[in-house]
């Protein structure tokens, strides 16, 4: 079935931000007396804010409530974007604009609702997306399909008629679980496992390669 909508992940696909989240969380953990470990970032990729804040409290020993952890980290990220600008990936704006001219678009992100809204406002891309969903608004974060299924529902299209664009291990698994055409653009900082990447319908080197023909599954 041809795609009738396209759903984008945000962090790592449209903005080069995974390392910003990683640094902010690590600094926060160390500042408040927690115990950071090297696998923490990969463990938290794709988790909803409820899940990663609980992980930081329980697994990293942060001596604050998950609710407080969530609020503190999100405020740090928002402050960085306001002061330093949003790290939009080269070619992302153009990719969004060329696909928005053909299909309705949505965002399905593990970022918190305030961060999604801030990023789209600061980049001027808010008008390109008909729907946005944060994983804090669904029961389970990635690799569960919940956030992608919710995005399809808000677009009022069948999940199986959507194409999705992801960069991470858990994101690719979430798209596959949702039954969507899976377009992978591997994150250079935190690449997906080879066996997960093999599950994608197509793998691109950069978002500049994301064309309507790729969404349709046609040869360029």
Q: Where are the domains of the chain?
A: 5-16+87-216, 18-84
- Residue 219, pLDDT score: 56
In the structure encoding, which two tokens stand for residue 16, read together? 């080069």
Cβ count within 10 A of residue 16:
18
Confidence (pLDDT) at 73: 97
Bridge partners, 166 (sequence order): 184
pLDDT of residue 183: 98
Q: Give yes or no for a contact between 94 and 125, defined as CB atoms under 8 angstroms apart.
A: no
Tell me if the domain spanning 18-84 has CATH number 1.10.10: no
Q: What is the pTM of this model?
A: 0.91
33 backbone dihedrals φ, ψ, rounded to 5°: 95, 20
Using 50 as the pLDDT threshold, list the residues of the chain that sit under it. Answer: 220
Assigned superfamily of 5-16+87-216:
HAD superfamily/HAD-like (3.40.50.1000)
Q: State the chain's mean pLDDT as an integer.
A: 95
CA torsion angle 147 152 154 155 (round to 10): 150
- Asked if residue 137 lies in contact with residue 113, where contact means CB atoms within 8 angstroms, the answer is yes
Secondary structure string (H, E, C) spanning 40-52: HHHHHCCCCHHHH
Q: Omega of the bond prior to 155 within 30 degrees of 0, cis?
A: no
Residue 1's pLDDT is what?
A: 53
Calculate the CA 1 to chain-centre distance.
25
């Amino acid at each position: 079935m041809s795609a009738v909508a396209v759903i984008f992940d945000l962090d790592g696909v449209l903005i080069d931000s995974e390392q910003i989240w990683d640094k902010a969380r690590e600094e926060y953990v160390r500042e408040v007396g927690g115990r950071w470990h090297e696998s923490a970032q990969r463990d938290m990729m794709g988790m909803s804010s409820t899940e990663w804040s609980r992980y930081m409290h329980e697994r990293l020993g942060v001596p604050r409530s998950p609710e407080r952890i969530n609020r503190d980290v999100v405020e740090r990220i928002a402050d960085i974007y306001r002061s330093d600008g949003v790290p939009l990936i080269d070619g992302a704006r153009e990719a969004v604009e060329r696909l928005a001219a053909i299909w309705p678009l949505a965002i399905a992100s593990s970022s918190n609702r305030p961060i999604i809204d801030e990023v789209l406002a600061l980049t001027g891309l808010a008008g390109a997306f008909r729907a946005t969903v944060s994983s804090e608004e669904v029961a389970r974060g990635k690799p569960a399909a919940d956030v992608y299924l919710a995005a399809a529902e808000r677009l009022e299209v069948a999940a199986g008629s959507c194409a999705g664009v992801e960069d991470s291990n858990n994101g690719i698994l979430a798209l596959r679980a949702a039954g969507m055409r899976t377009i992978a653009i591997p994150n250079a900082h935190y690449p997906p496992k080879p066996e997960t990447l093999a599950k994608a319908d197509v793998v691109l080197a950069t978002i500049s390669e994301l064309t309507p023909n790729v969404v349709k599954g046609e040869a360029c």
